[in-house]
Amino acid sequence: MLKKVRKERHIWLDIMLTLLTLELMSYFYYGIRSVVLAAICITAASLAEIISIRLMDRKFSADDLTCTSDALIIALMFPAIIDYKIAAIACIFAIVVAKNVFGGRINMIFSPAAVAYVFVLTSWGRKLLQYTEPHVKTGIFEKPEVLVNSVSHTFNLTGTFKHSDFEILLGNFSGPSGAVSILLLAVAAVVLMFRRSISVGAFLGTILGTAFFAVFTPVISSKSDSLKYSLVTNMVLFAAVYIVSDVRIAPKRDYYAFFYGLFIGVFSYVIVLTGAKENAIVIVAVLFTPVTLGFKNLEKKIENATQEHQEEFIKSERINFEEDALSE
């Protein structure tokens, strides 16, 4: 049990370090407002966690601080200029409803950040999908004069992407404050997979599923451009790392996790291709909760069957040993 707790803390620390790196890049592009947004999200989530645990007659522990990583993921999926009240409500909803109502930290079935995003999308969709251009820095209480659609929105509707590869790598295009830094996300994915802090199978399944369909059913005429832009838009890489590959949610075995990620990657790409739905992967990740539960149930049955087989084998060997001893 102690080993499991330590592993959980190490995973949380790894996730937080990579998220803070993305937050630093967000600050570089959008200024102090992005930092204040992150602080509000973390504060709201922490208070919601403490109050929820108290109401459930449980003792708050250091392990419950994992809610801060969910809060930071939410902040990085939002525009830096989103209303603070909306962000706070989203974090409270994530912790109270998506997490603690369904069993809390020990028995999570949804990604709290993904559920919060879908909640805000259905309630304040226009405010969620309007952004400032990179390097347009807004004060803590200022309102930006000009808002634009994300590059993902433009690409989904028109198939055009007017930024260079260098700008793509650095995240110098409009979109969620932490989900456009492609180079940092790629490095984070490699580091987290190497340290087993995310599900390797789920991540690879998501990326390969998206890539396969982007090549064989391209959004635009150029298959290579379709592949490249399909992976860097619509929060695909960000969601693949921090939502689909969340070890608290994804199946434990990489074999099942791969197909779980593959299904999410394929279905989200189809939705983007047919309906031009921005950031569809987050919505699909929430809708695929029954698939996750099905895989986990199958894993549990396999583990129980394996354990029963081992117990029967040990019992049979013991009986044979006793019979051999009596015969001698």
Q: Where are the alpha helices (DSSP H) in the chain?
A: 2-30, 32-55, 67-77, 84-93, 112-123, 125-128, 151-158, 165-170, 182-194, 200-216, 223-232, 236-239, 254-275, 280-287, 289-327
Residue 131 — φ and ψ, nearest 5°?
Answer: -130, 165
Q: How far apart are CA 94 and CA 105, in angstroms?
A: 12
Which pLDDT value is given to residue 33? 95
Residue at 87 is within a domain = yes
Residue at 162 is within a domain = yes
Q: Which two tokens stand for residue 102?
A: 């369904």
Residue at 324 is within a domain = no
Q: Which two tokens stand for residue 264?
A: 């999410």
Among residues 10, 64, 21, the alpha carbon closest in space to that of 194 is found at 10
CATH number at residue 257: 1.10.3430
Which pLDDT value is given to residue 255? 87
Which pLDDT value is given to residue 2? 44
Residues 6+ apart with CB under 8 A from 57: none
Residue at 310 is within a domain = no
Residue at 293 is within a domain = no
> How many structural domains are present in the chain?
1
Q: What is the pLDDT along the chain (328 residues), one digit of tens a residue?
A: 445 555 788 899 999 999 999 999 999 999 999 999 999 999 999 999 999 888 888 887 767 788 999 999 999 999 999 999 999 999 999 999 989 888 777 778 889 999 999 999 999 999 999 999 999 988 999 988 899 999 999 999 999 998 999 999 999 999 998 999 999 999 999 999 999 999 999 999 999 999 999 999 998 989 999 999 999 999 999 999 999 999 988 888 888 899 999 999 999 999 999 999 999 999 999 998 877 777 666 666 666 666 665 656 566 656 665 555 556 5
Residue at 251 is within a domain = yes
SS (H, E, C) 38-93: HHHHHHHHHHHHHHHHHHCCCCCCHHHHHHHHHHHHHHHHCCCCCCHHHHHHHHHH
Integer angstrom CA distances of residue 297 from 241, 243, 302: 23, 20, 9
The whole domain housing 271 covers 2-287
Rounded to 5°, the CA angle 225-19-28 comes to 75
Which pLDDT value is given to residue 58? 82
Which pLDDT value is given to residue 40? 97
Residue at 313 is within a domain = no
Residue at 297 is within a domain = no
